[in-house]
A = this chain, B = another copy of it.
Amino acid sequence: MRIFTLLFCLLISNSINAQDDKTLRSIYDLALTKSEAYENLRDLCKNIGARLSGSEEADSAVVWGQNILNNLGLDTVYLQEISVPHWERGRKEKGYFYNEKGKNTLDVCALGGSVSTGMNQFIKAEVLEVHSIEEVVALSDSIVNGKIVFFNRPMDPKKISTFSAYGSCVDQRYSGAVEASKKGAIAVIVRSMNVRKDDFPHTGSMAYEEGGDSIPAFAISTNGADYLSENILSFKGLELSLKSYCKTYPDKISYNVVGEIKGSKFPNEFITVGGHLDSWDLGEGAHDDGAGVVQSIEVLHLLKLMNIRPKHTLRVVLFMNEENGNRGGIHYAEKAASKNEKHLMALESDRGGFSPRGFSVSGTNEQLEAIVNWKPLFEAYGIHEFKMGFAGVDINPLKDDKVCLIGLSPDSQRYFDHHHSDNDVFEEVNKRELELGAASMTALVYLIDKYWMY
C-alpha cells in the first residue's frame, strides 16, 4: 500500500511536464496525418463486413487481424484459441398485421440467439403490449397465454448518456423471452434499442433459461414499434404474424488475435489495449466495434512511428465473441491469471468511433485521481470527462484490486442510431473522429506506461 501511495506522488509531481505536452501534440499530429485506422476500418467493413462469432467472416477477420499486426513489425503476434457459439440468422425475417387498411408490413429481425418460428411457418397471435419485465411478471397467466408479448418501453431520451438509457432498457431484449414464456407467451417482439425514430430493427443478444420454453424473439424498429402500438390501441385483438429462419449450430473454434511490443524495463508487466473483432450480423460492425479494433491497433502503430518503446509490455488484443458470449474476454483473463501476468492497465474502445470526450475508469480512487491530474494535457484535444464507470465487456474479466480498467468515452448521442443494425456501416464513421479517439488512447497509454508501476 505504501508503494502505491509513493507511486501516485511520483505520478502527480511529473504530471504536467512540458515534454509530455509536446509528446501528446506529436501523437495527435501523427494520428491526424499518418493514421492507418480509417483505411484499416474500410478494409474490415467493406472486404469482410459483418462477422458474427462462428461465421466465415469472423474467420476472415481473424486472418485480417493477424496480417495487420504482422505488418506492424511487433515483437510477437499470436492467436488464443477459444470455442465460440454459432448462431445464424438465415433469411430475412418477416412481420405483418392486418388492419382496416389491409396488410401492414413491419421492420423486424430476430434477436441474436433466438430460435426460429419453425420450418416455413408464421407464428400468428394476438399482441399484448407491455412496458417492462415487471409488468409481465405481475400479469396473470390467462392474460399472457398464447399471445405475442410486445415490449415497448423506449430508451429514455432525457438521459444525456445514451449508454445509460440503453442500460435501463435492455433487460426487455435480454430477458423478455424468458419472463414472457413463463406466462405462456408464444413469442416476444421488442422495441429496438435506439432513441431515434427510424426504420432499422436492431438485433442483440437474448437468452433462454435452462429448462424453460425457448420462444422466438424479435426486434422491431422504433418507427415500427410506434406504429404497432397505435394500431393495438385502435384495433382491439390485433394479431401479428412473424416469421424467422434463425438457427443455433454447434460451437466452433475461433481466436483472439494478440500482438505485443515487449517492455524495455518491465517485460512481465502488461498494458493491454483492445476492441472486439466480432460484430453482429447486420451492417458492417463499423462503430461496433470495427472502430475500437482499428483504434487499438493504431495505438501500437503510432508509438512505432514515434520510436517509443514502452517500458511495460504493450499488448493489443482483438477479442473474439464479445457480442454473444464474451468468451474471448473471459479466456484472455483466465490465460493471464494462469500465467501470473501482472496487468497494470487495460484500455478498451467499444463505444463507437465518435469524437472522444474522455475516459471511463474502473479502478481505485487513487488511479482515477492520477488520471484526472493529466486533464490539462488533454483539454486542448477536447478530452474533459474523467469519471469512474464501466470500462468494457472484453477487459472486464481482468478486474482485480490492482489493475486499472479504462474505457474510451466518445460522444454517445449517435451511437444507438447504428448499434447492431444495418446502419452500422463504414460511411457512418468520420475519419477525424476515429483518429482523435486513437490519439487519445495512445496518449493515455503513453502516460501510464511512463509514470505508473505495478
Contacts and interface: CB of A to CB of B under 8 A. Distances in A.
B380 A160 contact: yes
Nearest to A162: B432
A29 to B, nearest CB: 5
A402 interface: no
A411 interface: yes
A265 to B, nearest CB: 31
Contacts of A92: none
Contacts of A28: 158, 160
Interface residues of A, number: 26
Interface string A2-43: 000000000000000000000000001100110000000000
A355 B410 CA distance: 11
Contact of A355 (B33, B355, B380): B355
A158 B413 contact: no
Given A157-B32, A158-B32, A196-B431, A413 B384 contact: no
Most chain B Cβ neighbours within 10 Å, of A158, A196, A385: A158
Contact of A382 (B29, B380, B411, B430): B411
A431 B414 CA distance: 9
A381 B432 contact: no
A445 interface: no
Contacts of A414: 430, 433
A357 interface: yes
Interface string A154-166: 0001101010000
A158 B411 contact: no
Interface in A157-184: 157-158, 160, 162
Contacts of A411: 355, 382, 411
A379 to B, nearest CB: 8
Interface string A363-393: 0000000000000000011101100000000
A158 B29 contact: yes
Most chain B Cβ neighbours within 10 Å, of A355, A432, A433: A432
A128 interface: no
A195 interface: yes
A33 B413 contact: no
A436 interface: yes
A417 interface: yes
A32 B162 CA distance: 12
A252 B244 CA distance: 61
Interface string A408-434: 000101100100000000000011110
A384 B384 contact: yes
Contacts of A195: 432
Interface of A: 28-29, 32-33, 157-158, 160, 162, 195-196, 355, 357, 380-382, 384-385, 411, 413-414, 417, 430-433, 436
15 contacts: A29-B158, A32-B158, A33-B158, A157-B432, A160-B436, A195-B432, A196-B431, A355-B355, A355-B413, A384-B385, A413-B430, A413-B432, A414-B430, A414-B433, A417-B430
Q: What 4 pairs across the A-B complex have the smallest Cβ distances?
A: A384-B384, A32-B157, A413-B432, A29-B158
